[in-house]
Structure 1
Amino acid sequence: MQRPPARPLAVLAVLGALTLTGCGTERAATADAPAPHAGPGDTAAAGPAARTLRAERVMRLTRPHGATGMTLLEGPTFGRDGGLYVVDVTAPAGAPKVLRVDVDRRTSRAVHTDDRGAYTSAQFSPYDGRLYLSDFAHGEIVSLAPGGGDRRTFFSGEVDGARMNPDDIAFDHGGNLYVSDSRGLSEGEAHGRVVRIDRAGEQADVLAGELAAPNGVSFDADHRGLWFSELTENRVSYLRLDDKGAVTSRHTAIRVDGGVAQTDSIAVDADGNLYQGLHGRAAMAVYDRYGQRLATVELPAGTKGLESATNVAITPGGTRAYVTVSGPSGGCLYAFDALAEGTRQSNGG
């Protein structure tokens, strides 16, 4: 029997526990209703100034797939056409692996599928305008035409002698890619890396190594450094970069009190606030650039069947934010009002 491909990102950690079967059911919630799913340490982590940002359901995008037994939405990113593009990590061959959502009409359509990729992130390049996808299972970065199709392999092969498990990606202004490499996740070992790939796909350099399953990656608001999260350490670190993309310093910036939840993808708004997705809890933690907990994004009280809020995209030039949420009830899109406007870094990487 052929061994199935490696399961992507946090799916590896919870595959045995998740048997996804529809979007969350929920009852009406008042503004002062208690936040559901509070994790250990959440009150202390939030501090007295933190508040709840209540998200509302937009639509269900996917149901669990019979072939994989689950669905997991990721990588929301806005295209120049105004559409919100989303990937389904565990979609089997023939099922939509990339979808385009019209958030105003609340409709979606498939834009890409294949018999190979396990795509965990999506970003549009500022250099060539193509949609770039990270294929966790095969260690590749591929790209599509803006509306889907014309699949090309952008990068494949080893980086410093080892293949990547690319999770999330971010672009600098010049179109160079910064990739969170979750190598070592399935073994529970700190072999992960942050990798920079030039925009031609020819040169790959390790910016940070010996990381515990790095996941989210995003530039700060000024493009002076990179935020990245480590799934199995529940921490967010900061890499200061020079004007050539080389690291000048690195430090642990935020320790997330997630309890059973783990740090997933990251997005940054125009004011530099971080939106940290949580795998294992249908919520997001919001911090300012100095690590102060500002808010928690929560689903309506009573929502059931949704277990992870993996990623978010904030409307460019606006504050409406769209978060991908998945669990036994399927893959859903929820919306809330962010603390500041969206920019390129507000497409969660």
Structure 2
Amino acid sequence: MPRLSIRPLAVLAMTGTLILTGCGTQTGDPGGRAAPVGADRIIRAHKVMQLTKVHEETGMTLLEGPAFGEDGGLFVVDVTAPSGRPKVIRVDVGKKTSRAVHTDDRGAYTSAQFSPYDGRLYLTDYAHGEVVSLAPDGGDQRTFFSGEVEGAQMNPDDIAFDEEGNLYVSDSRGLSEGKEHGRVVRIDRDGEKASVLAEDLASTNGISFDVDYRGLWISELTQNRISYLRLDGKGGVASRHTAIRVDGGIAQTDSIAVDADANLYLGLHGRAAMAVYDQHGERIATVEIPSRAEGLESVTNVAITPGGTKAYMTVSGPAGGFLYSFDAPAEGIRQSNGG
């Protein structure tokens, strides 16, 4: 991670040094559509509750992940939580209560999502290049995947599962010697085989399947764009192109979610807001928090209630880590529940 940048892909090298970087994707097609600024409607988000405060040991807090479990609990990870502090938190959004369900002495977890294959909660450990899984109650930690993929260690950021339970991971390897090294990695559901689907990407960050599981939306943090990978149905990529160019100003592209109407929700790091696009690249809305909410600088991700439109996004900054809610334009599906 030679490029330092405060991002929700932030990572704690558990030696006490905080290393923050981005993730991305770039392809050879320059024909992405520019996202119109000011042409979209504003959706107001409302504070649900504060979940974390800035950690003295790491100097920050950074919430990610949100994913609903089968019991209705919303699971959130704190990327920069030090050893002994809650790293996975379960929220009862109805009662507005939370409790710690997991901690350990090394992980820097940047995403959370439940597998459709075994029902376990999968986490990406950015700092150690691993994917781990937990039982739904936060116990029984297992290392699902560790080691190099095609000669290089991963910096895994977000996860997308296909319908069979195979994992697609945004590998946010950074820039070195003037070349981008971000990748998209596919890991079989048994964790035995991993392969690179796309490489030379600009700090790969968010990743989500489209509504029909025909392709993957990938955000590239250091180039502020979203790329689309059309899959070939055989575990490979048929085509790849730049789909949306994000005019974010000082903000950068973060995690991606997709709703039942195929809309994309893009977290903005550097601005406490979320951009919403249709599948053709038109910006249809911006989700904003109240302007009086000072000390909040980043929206990392969102989970939309499965089968409903109530959405919950993770918001962080010097004021702490918060959960905000809003009414989404369409219903939540698996692609809008973690990653």
Q: What is the TM-score with the length of structure 1 in the denominator?
A: 0.87
Q: Which amino acid aligns with 2:10?
A: V
Q: 1:102 is matched with which residue: 92, 106, 124?
A: 92
Q: 1:313 is matched with which residue: 282, 303, 314?
A: 303
Q: Which amino acid aligns with 1:84?
A: L
Q: 2:279 is matched with which residue: 268, 279, 289?
A: 289
Indicate the SS of the match to 1:291.
coil
Q: 2:172 is matched with which residue: 179, 182, 187?
A: 182
1:214-233 equivalences under 5 Å are 214-233=204-223
Aligned residue-pair number: 316
1:118-197 equivalences under 5 Å are 118-184=108-174, 189-197=179-187
The CA deviation at 1:46 is 3.5
* Distance change (3 Å), C-alpha of 1:132 and 1:44: closer
Partner of 2:235: 245
Verify the 8 A CA contact 2:120 2:135 in the aligned structure 1: yes
Tell me whether 1:345 sits opposite 2:335 in the alignment.
Answer: yes
Tell me whether 1:332 sits opposite 2:322 in the alignment.
Answer: yes
Indicate the SS of the match to 1:345.
helix
Verify the 8 A CA contact 2:10 2:79 in the aligned structure 1: no
Distance between the aligned counterparts of 2:47 and 2:176, measured in 1?
A: 33
The structure richer in strand per residue is: 2
CA RMSD of aligned residues (A): 2.0
Distance between the aligned counterparts of 2:207 and 2:80, measured in 1?
A: 21
* Distance change (3 Å), C-alpha of 1:217 and 1:109: same
The CA deviation at 1:47 is 5.5
Distance between the aligned counterparts of 2:8 and 2:134, measured in 1?
A: 22
Indicate the SS of the match to 1:59.
strand
Distance between the aligned counterparts of 2:100 and 2:177, measured in 1?
A: 34
What residue ranges of structure 2 are gaps of 5+ in the alignment?
12-17, 21-33
What residue ranges of structure 1 are gaps of 5+ in the alignment?
1-5, 18-42
The CA deviation at 1:45 is 1.8
Pick which of 187-196 and 197-206 moved more: 187-196
1:247-266 equivalences under 5 Å are 247-266=237-256
Indicate the SS of the match to 2:180.
coil
Indicate the SS of the match to 2:36.
helix
* Distance change (3 Å), C-alpha of 1:267 and 1:105: same
Verify the 8 A CA contact 2:183 2:201 in the aligned structure 1: yes
The CA deviation at 1:339 is 0.6
Indicate the SS of the match to 2:198.
strand
Q: Which amino acid aligns with 2:301?
A: N
Which of structure 1's runs of 4+ aligned residues deviate more than 6 A? none
* Distance change (3 Å), C-alpha of 1:90 and 1:253: same
Verify the 8 A CA contact 1:130 1:144 in the aligned structure 2: yes
Verify the 8 A CA contact 1:55 1:298 in the aligned structure 2: yes
The CA deviation at 1:242 is 2.2
Partner of 2:106: 116
The CA deviation at 1:187 is 8.4
Distance between the aligned counterparts of 1:194 and 1:185, measured in 2?
A: 15
Verify the 8 A CA contact 1:8 1:118 in the aligned structure 2: no
Partner of 1:36: none
The CA deviation at 1:147 is 1.1
Verify the 8 A CA contact 1:9 1:136 in the aligned structure 2: no
Distance between the aligned counterparts of 1:88 and 1:261, measured in 2?
A: 21
Partner of 1:66: 56
Tell me whether 1:45 sits opposite 2:44 in the alignment.
Answer: no
